[in-house]
């Protein structure tokens, strides 16, 4: 129940990474920070289920993504059209976009199915190996790879403008 | 063969430019992902999280009561401990 020093320090160090993961999953939003908060609290409470010396970051990311999915499930019950609703919400406000290209990329990322978005963030942004990503997502390594490849295809299409991500203006 | 145990320690990628993106993801998507992630992770951490860690530590001390501080109340930690909350 008492987190070891390793966990304690690891938690603090992990906060920026957890936030980046959460924000990549659901945009810069109150939800992202709530996910991080929940993750820290849960990690503290179940610190005894973490084995010292194993990959703490992966353990924390697993908690966060589980929180994310339980949020989505809850939400799904409320709003049937999760895909549309979430996607619309994920797009960050135009004012926050550093430049148009990154803005488009965010929009495109937000429009991926969750499992593909998650996979590509874990491997492409957070730097986890396929094996670690598979562990975190609770799926096979082959599944990770196929999600990555589908995600790449869709992102590339959207970035090349075949599917206009969201022109916004009317 | 799937027994590769080489944890990559994702927490610490060295910044010494690793220009080779993941082969499946490719360079174009990979570099955008990284820069987005870097932008997010370099933001200043809001106080609420450090406060939270502080609170967790406090409530734990109170719990353990190992200090003779008189475990007045673990109540000052607003720690939602309920795992059963999901339903």
Is the Cβ–Cβ distance between B22 and B33 less than 8 Å?
no
CA distance B8 to chain A (A): 7
Check if the interface score ipTM surpasses 0.85: no
CB-CB under 8 Å, B56 with A15: no
How far is the C-alpha of A40 from the C-alpha of A14, rounded, in Å?
10
What pLDDT, on the 0 to 100 scale, is given for residue A169? Answer: 47
Q: Does the pLDDT value for residue A47 go beyond 80?
A: yes
Q: Which residues of B touch A109 (CB under 8 A)?
A: 33, 36
Q: How confident is the model at residue A108 (pLDDT cuts 50, 70, 90)?
A: very high
Q: How confident is the model at residue A3 (pLDDT cuts 50, 70, 90)?
A: confident
A29 burial (CB, 10 Å; 0-12 / 13-18 / 19+) is middle
A76 touches chain B (CB under 8 A): no
Q: Does the pLDDT value for residue A165 go beyond 70?
A: no
Q: Which of residues 43-72 of B touch A (CB under 8 A)?
A: 43, 45-46, 48-50, 52-53, 56-57, 60, 63-64
**A122: which DSSP letter?**
I
pLDDT, block means (10 residues), chain B with 87 residues: 47 49 93 94 94 89 59 46 45
Average pLDDT over residues A91-95: 46
For the domain A1-90, what is the CATH code? 1.10.1740.10
The mean-pLDDT minimum among A53-57, A128-132, A142-146 falls in A53-57
CB-CB under 8 Å, A124 with B22: yes
What pLDDT, on the 0 to 100 scale, is given for residue B68? Answer: 45
Q: Which residues of A touch B8 (CB under 8 A)?
A: 127-129, 132
What pLDDT, on the 0 to 100 scale, is given for residue A52? Answer: 84
Average pLDDT over residues A79-83: 55
Cα-based torsion angle of the residue sequence A114, A120, A122, A123 in order, rounded to the nearest 10 degrees: 160
Q: How confident is the model at residue A134 (pLDDT cuts 50, 70, 90)?
A: very high
DSSP class per residue in B23-74? TTT-HHHHHHHHHHHHHHHTSPPPHHHHHHHHHHHHHHHHHH--SSS----G
Question: What kind of architecture, by CATH, is found in domain A99-163?
Answer: Orthogonal Bundle (1.10)
What pLDDT, on the 0 to 100 scale, is given for residue A143? Answer: 98
Q: Does the pLDDT value for residue A82 go beyond 90?
A: no
- pTM above the 0.80 mark? no
**A31 — alpha (psi -120 to 50), left (phi > 0) or beta?**
alpha
Q: Does the pLDDT value for residue A118 go beyond 70?
A: yes
Average pLDDT over residues A148-155: 96
CB-CB under 8 Å, A70 with B86: yes
């Amino acid at each position: 129940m008492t987190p070891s020093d390793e966990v304690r320090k690891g938690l603090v160090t992990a906060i920026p990474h957890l936030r980046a993961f959460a924000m990549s999953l659901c945009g810069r939003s109150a939800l992202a920070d709530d996910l991080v908060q929940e993750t820290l609290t849960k990690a503290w409470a179940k610190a005894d289920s973490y084995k010292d010396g194993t990959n703490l970051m992966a353990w924390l990311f697993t908690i966060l993504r589980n929180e994310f999915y339980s949020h989505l499930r809850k939400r799904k019950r409320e709003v049937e059209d999760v895909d549309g609703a979430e996607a619309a919400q994920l797009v960050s406000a135009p004012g926050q976009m550093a430049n148009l290209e990154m803005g488009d990329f965010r929009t495109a990322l937000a429009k991926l199915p969750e499992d593909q978005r998650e996979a590509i963030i874990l491997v492409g942004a957070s730097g986890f190996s396929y094996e670690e990503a598979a562990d975190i997502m609770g799926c096979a390594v082959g599944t990770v790879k196929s999600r990555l490849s589908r995600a790449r295809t869709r992102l590339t299409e959207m970035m090349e403008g075949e599917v206009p991500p969201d022109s916004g203006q009317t | 063969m799937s027994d590769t145990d080489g944890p990559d320690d994702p927490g610490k990628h060295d910044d010494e430019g690793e220009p080779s993106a993941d082969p499946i993801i490719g360079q174009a998507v990979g570099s955008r992902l990284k820069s987005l992630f870097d932008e997010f992770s370099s933001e200043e951490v809001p106080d609420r999280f450090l406060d939270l860690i502080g609170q967790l530590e406090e409530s734990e001390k109170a719990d353990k009561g190992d200090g003779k501080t008189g475990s007045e109340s673990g109540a000052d930690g607003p720690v939602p401990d309920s795992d059963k909350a999901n339903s």
